[in-house]
Amino acid sequence: MPKESDDLSTLGELGESAVLGRIFPRLPAASAQLLGPGDDAAVVAAADGRFVVTTDLMVHGPDFRLAWSLPHDLGWKAAASNLSDVAAMGAVPTALVVAIAAPADSPISLLEGIADGFRDACGALAPGCGIVGGDLSVSDTLTIAVTAFGDLAGRPPVLRSGARPGDVVAVSGALGEAAAGLRVLFAEALDANGAPDAVLASLVRDRTTAQLTPSPPIADGPLAASAGATSMVDLSDGLAIDASRVARASGVRIDFDRGALGADPDLALGGGEDHSLLATFPPGARLPGGFRPIGTVVAPADDEGNVSVILLDGKPYTVSGWDPYTGWKDSGVAGGSAG
């Protein structure tokens, strides 16, 4: 864990200029940066005349709790989850811009830790990717807004809509481990009043890594594209939900092999936030990187009605899961049931 400052000064005491002076030196540089922070805007290289872009908000409450996540965790996860969206297009992440709104009485160490988390996640998961710009603001609710960019290197983007019957369904990365980590936090890191507790969370740290600091296989995104992946998606809302998006966009169904989903197939299918990569490959394709087969793409049902597009060992699997507006008071562990 990198050393954060012991300085207890608050953002409000230091002021924007001093805060920026403390944060800038910690940020990772981007190889694609042509002009970095300090002007009205940055300039980033887009060698093939296009860029991939994705944006995401992490909000205190629904997305994380400060009692459970260290500042370094927050930066790491914000980076990892956005890098994964870029990778899921088959692109190499090139740069991020990051805007943070924090309470004025936050200690400077909060922003230093977040910055270090971004630096370490970029270094570990997407070397060469860095932060080219950002914004600091004040809010009662700690909020981290990340926009991430990627380079397709001349390849077409890998869409959700390209899966074809007969394709192999494969995944790279964990299934259900982030949700299992969240279950541990809800089961073992709430105080007597039901509030998240930092000391209890520290005791279960080794079982919550996949939730707090996921390490998605970013390099496998471009590898999948080069290997001819017909569709790809980042697993943010859970395998069953995200696969159903691929199935609907492609006009197919996806049949998962229960034996390939580990000890707890319902957790693997329902758990969100792994940020693993789900891709489909033509039959017989050699799976690149860390991809392993977990199912098959099958033709759509004759009945176009309200039929499940997700199967488990050939039987319809009912998908349920996360909704940011209706579901945020839940534990985030989406449920599913074989039916």
Instruction: Give me the sheet containing 168-172, strands edge to edge.
Output: 231-234, 277-281, 168-172, 292-298, 253-256, 310-312, 315-319, 336-338
For residues 225-254, which are near its own copies according to CB under 8 A? 232-234, 249
Told to check if 308 binds its own copies by CB under 8 A, we report: no
Interface residue with its own copies, options 27, 30, 42, 261 (CB under 8 A): 42
- 89 or 239: CB nearest its own copies: 89
For residues 113-132, which are near its own copies according to CB under 8 A? 132
Residue of 99, 105, 98 lying closest to 140 (CA atoms): 105
Tokens at 311, concatenated: 């199967």
Give Cα 143 to chain centroid, integer Å: 16
For residues 271-300, which are near its own copies according to CB under 8 A? none
**The one segment of 57-65, 176-184, 201-209, 303-311 that binds its own copies by CB under 8 A:** 57-65
Are 274 and 216 within 8 A, CB to CB? yes
Told to check if 171 binds its own copies by CB under 8 A, we report: no
Instruction: Give me the sheet containing 92-102, strands edge to edge.
Output: 130-138, 92-102, 143-151
User: How many Å apart are CA 91 and CA 85, to the nearest integer?
Assistant: 9
Interface residue with its own copies, options 2, 7, 31, 138 (CB under 8 A): 138
Told to check if 11 binds its own copies by CB under 8 A, we report: yes
Binding residues for substrate: 63, 273, 322
For residues 13-32, which are near its own copies according to CB under 8 A? 13-17, 19
For residues 76-95, which are near its own copies according to CB under 8 A? 85-86, 88-89, 91, 95
Are 292 and 260 within 8 A, CB to CB? yes
Told to check if 46 binds its own copies by CB under 8 A, we report: yes
Is the torsion defined by CA of 64, 65, 68, 73 positive or negative?
positive
- 8 or 199: CB nearest its own copies: 8
C-alpha angle 334-238-152 in degrees, rounded to nearest 5: 155
**The one segment of 61-69, 120-128, 185-193, 208-216 that binds its own copies by CB under 8 A:** 61-69
Transcribe 66-131 into DSSP letters.
Answer: TTTS-HHHHHHHHHHHHHHHHHTTTPEEEEEEEEEEE-TTSBHHHHHHHHHHHHHHHHHHSTT-EE
In the complex, least distance from residue 39 CB atom to its own copies, rounded to whole angstroms: 6
Interface residue with its own copies, options 27, 70, 74, 97 (CB under 8 A): 97
Interface residue with its own copies, options 140, 187, 203, 282 (CB under 8 A): 140
- 45 or 338: CB nearest its own copies: 45
CA distances (Å), origin 135, targets 10, 78, 97: 17, 15, 8
Binding residues: 40, 54-56, 63, 85, 134-135, 160, 234, 236-237, 273, 322
Interface residue with its own copies, options 130, 150, 214, 217 (CB under 8 A): 150
One-letter amino acid for residue 324 of the chain: P
Told to check if 39 binds its own copies by CB under 8 A, we report: yes
Binding residues for Mg(2+): 40, 54-56, 85, 135, 234, 237
